[in-house]
Amino acid sequence: MSAAPALWAAGVRRSYDLPSRPPAQAALAVGLQAGITVGVSVPCHGVQVAIRGRMDVHTAIDLALAGSDCRAVWMEGQTVRIERRPQPAQAAAPKPPPATPPEANLAEVVVTASKRGVDVFHLPGSVSVVQAQALAAVRVRDTADLRLLASGMTVTNLGAGRDKVLLRGLSDGAFTGHTQSTVGLYWNQTPTTYNAPDPDLRLVDVQSVEVLRGPQGTLYGAGAIGGVVSVTPVAPDLSAASGFASATGATTAGGDPSAGAEAMFNLPLAGGKAALRLVAYGEEDGGYIDLPRLGVQNADHTQETGVRAAFRTEPSAEWSVTLGDIYQDIYSDDTQYTTGDPQGLERNTRVREPHDNDFEQAYLDIGGRGGWGELHSIGSFINHEFDSRYDATDAAADFGGASVPTAFDDDTLVRLTSQELDYRAPLHGPASLLVGGYGSYGDEHETTRLGPTGGGKTLYAEDRTDRMVDLALFGEASYALTSRLTATLGLRLAYAERRTLSLVDEAGAQAPFSGRYVTKEWSPKLALDYALVQGVRLYALASKGYRVGGFNTAGPLTTAFTAQGGAEPNRTYLPDDLWNYEAGVKLQGWRGRLQARTALYYDVWDRLQADQLLPSGLSYVANVGDAHVKGWEWEASVRPLQPLIFEIGALFTAPDLHKVDPSFPAGQSDFTLPGVARRSINSRIEYDVSLSGGRTLELDAAALYVGHSYLFFGPQGSSEMGHYLDGRLQGVFRTPDYSVGLLISNPANNRGDTFAFGNPFSLGAGPQSTPLRPRTVRLTLTHGF
């Protein structure tokens, strides 16, 4: 029996996010969270169930027992007895329980990235939750594919494992260097990046992806200045063995064929008290870019392999422990940008440009809840290595080299250990409280070399190590001022330290450097949420994000690094911070068939950090000035008929550098922020046809329009890109055990320039462009068991 103080009335709805467990344990967990007494006097047999969504306690208890042979008998408002469900008289045999329990209020989805279990409709902010069904509908494989489903998302298209993710037009530029990411990327609530490119983890066996827009500094600290993308994988299931295996074959117009496979196996252990879930995948994407000078066709083959394992145990109804590990390797034989004719698929280079991205992460997740509240501890260790080669022949003369094939190799290894501990206090009337602490320690070791590929003297090299320490205390509290108005206040106090050691070697001459930089930041948040009428909520939000400062070291020995206020490049770059002011409306109605949201926002970004290029092609970080970003975004989803879903979203933004720093060489004019379009529109339509024998036919289509954008901070028209239409068509035929899917990507075979960049050492030699992958047709066969 579980007993807890009656903290709220039984008829009041609240958000649940309880992991899958047997029926009686699920009912006990609901009772503990709701503050009621649950008595269990008989064993309950049936399917394991997770309780997620916003509902009253009666509905939650009924869901816990829906697939079992037990029922709930309410003795009084705060007490319920679980007893055996009576069987019909003269029944030959009891009817087997349903495979899955009924779902409650599908329109209300809990946002785990809020860390307080708030459903998306009640969360004051701009959030998209893309569930597994939508991910499968258009075969979303990685972060870049999310652009089709989440409005306002930009992903640079340098190649698999090399991209930057941007949200809402909050862009620090198209290049990648030592600035911290503007968007925090999280896997199972653990960080996956610091200033590295997106590791591009495969979205297979994933429960949902949450996209939180705008600065999330209060809960996530540095590196979430533009938002957070949080991926939640499917948790190990303690109740039943299950799995699937799939195989894919594909053909690309004008390119080589592709093939891949995925598999998952879930195994319960210890009589339903533990489970092991294993995921494995591999894929080879055929190339389509030719290198005529080197005599290579379809040079940009990419191989991707990955393995995930998660072991979960629930020693009691109140506690759970998950130990997991992720490993993924991406290797590209060459890059996918072109030179010359922007409609062509050729590149005029003298050196091949491969890339390797190896990512491994181990994590330990411990959670407990009871009448005393909820405690969540999650720690992780990341080992992330990524290596790139660029054709640097055009830059060899800047380092005293001859005009022979010359390569620039950049090899980086990041190790990061992090630990977070959150405590959520039990509800006390109209108040809720979350407090937590965070700490991380890491080092980034980067070695670069520029020299002829045929052997000979190295022209330039750098060995650099950055040691990183981050500590923070944070809290967020909400209080219902009235029955309709709720206020939320949050604050994060953070300390960050960076120690940099560098040795630059140019033709035997050396330049050592060492430095220490400390950043102390506070990141507040204030939000108001108002229930105007049933199904309509208004909110207003002010929040702050930040990134830490650091040092510039790369460059020929003739590079003059100046003090702050001098002409760029400065030796030190300062922290930047961004204030976001936002107002929005959320709609929900038609029995959950209609959901919509819209928001207006205004962002003030001071001392904007951006990776820039020296004349030699090497990168440095500049504080380019102050930016003002205005925007309007909206998303809507409607189900006019049970088998039909229509979704549409859009972003219209004005991302402008309002005040250029006097030291920035671009001058004193107002410029647009590079790398992001001022307008984008995405849409999706799904139609499901039910056939006899449990078979279905699912038809899906998605389209994305991306407007004009520019590569550099500068006048509009400089290195223009964008203004293209991308899309997908998919049909899937499903039986209870098998499915066959046909997917067509880029069905119109458009040649839009997704990214006008590929190589920093040859930008001056002519325009570069990265076309959409040509029309690709994929056939996938899946067997579930």
Same domain for 703 and 594: yes
pLDDT tens for 219-229 read 999 889 999 99
Helix, coil or strand: residue 629: strand
Band the pLDDT of 599: cuts 50, 70, 90: very high
pLDDT at 463: 98
Beta partners for 645?
A: 686
**Cis ω for the linkage preceding 747 (within 30 of 0):** no
* CB 444, CB 463: distance < 8 Å: no
pLDDT at 69: 76
CATH code: domain of residue 263: 2.40.170.20
Question: What's the number of domains the chain is made of?
Answer: 3
Whether the predicted pLDDT of 436 surpasses 60: yes
Paired tokens of 278? 């294993």
Same domain for 240 and 211: no
- Among 178-182, 419-423, 602-606, the range scoring the smallest mean pLDDT is 178-182
Whether the predicted pLDDT of 407 surpasses 90: yes
Band the pLDDT of 578: cuts 50, 70, 90: very high
* CB 608, CB 624: distance < 8 Å: yes
Band the pLDDT of 737: cuts 50, 70, 90: very high
pLDDT tens for 247-296 read 999 999 999 999 999 999 999 999 889 999 999 999 999 999 999 999 99
Across the range 4-12, mean pLDDT stands at 39
Whether the predicted pLDDT of 502 surpasses 90: yes
Whether the predicted pLDDT of 670 surpasses 60: yes
Across the range 116-137, mean pLDDT stands at 89
pLDDT at 18: 73
Band the pLDDT of 485: cuts 50, 70, 90: very high
Same domain for 177 and 290: no
Same domain for 207 and 236: no
pLDDT at 40: 66
* CB 682, CB 148: distance < 8 Å: yes
Residue where a domain stops, chosen among 197, 228, 259: 228
Same domain for 284 and 194: no
Residue 554 neighbours by CB under 8 Å, 6+ apart: 448, 462, 464, 504, 614, 618, 619, 620
Helix, coil or strand: residue 729: strand
The secondary structure of 435-490 as a DSSP string is EEEEEEEEEEEEEEEEEETTS----EEEEEEEEEEEEEEEEEEEEESSSSEEEEEE
Residue where a domain stops, chosen among 46, 71, 105: 105
* CB 778, CB 259: distance < 8 Å: no
Q: Which domain holds residue 402?
A: 229-784
pLDDT at 88: 46
Band the pLDDT of 411: cuts 50, 70, 90: very high
pLDDT at 665: 73
The secondary structure of 182-248 as a DSSP string is SEEEEETTEE--SSSPP------SEEEEEEEES--HHHH-TT-SSEEEEEEEPPPPSS--EEEEEEE
Across the range 581-591, mean pLDDT stands at 94
pLDDT at 396: 93
Same domain for 236 and 214: no
pLDDT at 75: 60
pLDDT at 103: 34
Band the pLDDT of 175: cuts 50, 70, 90: confident
CA 228 from centre of chain: 6
pLDDT at 528: 97
Paired tokens of 533? 């009428």
Same domain for 196 and 142: yes
pLDDT at 5: 32
Band the pLDDT of 41: cuts 50, 70, 90: low
pLDDT at 49: 75
Whether the predicted pLDDT of 10 surpasses 80: no
Same domain for 258 and 129: no
CATH code: domain of residue 208: 2.170.130.10
Whether the predicted pLDDT of 98 surpasses 90: no
**Residue 754 phi, psi dihedral angles, 5° rounding:** -80, -25
The DSSP bridge pattern shows strands 183-187 and 227-233 to be: parallel
pLDDT at 86: 65
pTM of the entire predicted model: 0.86
DSSP secondary structure letter of residue 757: -
The whole-angstrom separation of Cα 32 and Cα 368 is 11
Residue where a domain stops, chosen among 208, 228, 248: 228
Band the pLDDT of 667: cuts 50, 70, 90: low
As a whole-number percent, the residues of the chain with pLDDT over 70 amount to 91
Same domain for 277 and 213: no
Of residues 576, 541, 602, 585, the one with CA closest to residue 169: 602
pLDDT at 548: 95
Same domain for 455 and 342: yes
| Residue for token pair 């009428």 | 533
CATH code: domain of residue 96: 3.55.50
pLDDT tens for 257-267 read 999 999 999 99
**Residue 389 phi, psi dihedral angles, 5° rounding:** -125, 140
Across the range 649-676, mean pLDDT stands at 84
- Among 63-77, 479-493, 639-653, the range scoring the smallest mean pLDDT is 63-77
Whether the predicted pLDDT of 773 surpasses 80: yes
* CB 420, CB 378: distance < 8 Å: yes
Across the range 673-697, mean pLDDT stands at 94
Across the range 343-367, mean pLDDT stands at 95
- Among 29-43, 176-190, 231-245, 287-301, the range scoring the smallest mean pLDDT is 29-43
The whole-angstrom separation of Cα 693 and Cα 74 is 39
pLDDT at 91: 36
Same domain for 777 and 644: yes
Highest mean pLDDT among 33-42, 64-73, 521-530, 666-675: 521-530
Across the range 351-368, mean pLDDT stands at 96
The whole-angstrom separation of Cα 294 and Cα 340 is 16
Across the range 758-764, mean pLDDT stands at 91
pLDDT at 557: 93
Band the pLDDT of 732: cuts 50, 70, 90: very high
Same domain for 125 and 94: no
Across the range 375-382, mean pLDDT stands at 96
Band the pLDDT of 636: cuts 50, 70, 90: very high
Across the range 638-667, mean pLDDT stands at 89
**Residue 315 phi, psi dihedral angles, 5° rounding:** -65, -20
pLDDT at 671: 79
pLDDT tens for 318-340 read 899 999 999 999 999 999 999 98
pLDDT at 37: 66
pLDDT tens for 447-480 read 999 999 988 899 999 999 999 999 999 999 999 9
Q: What is the mean pLDDT of the chain?
A: 89
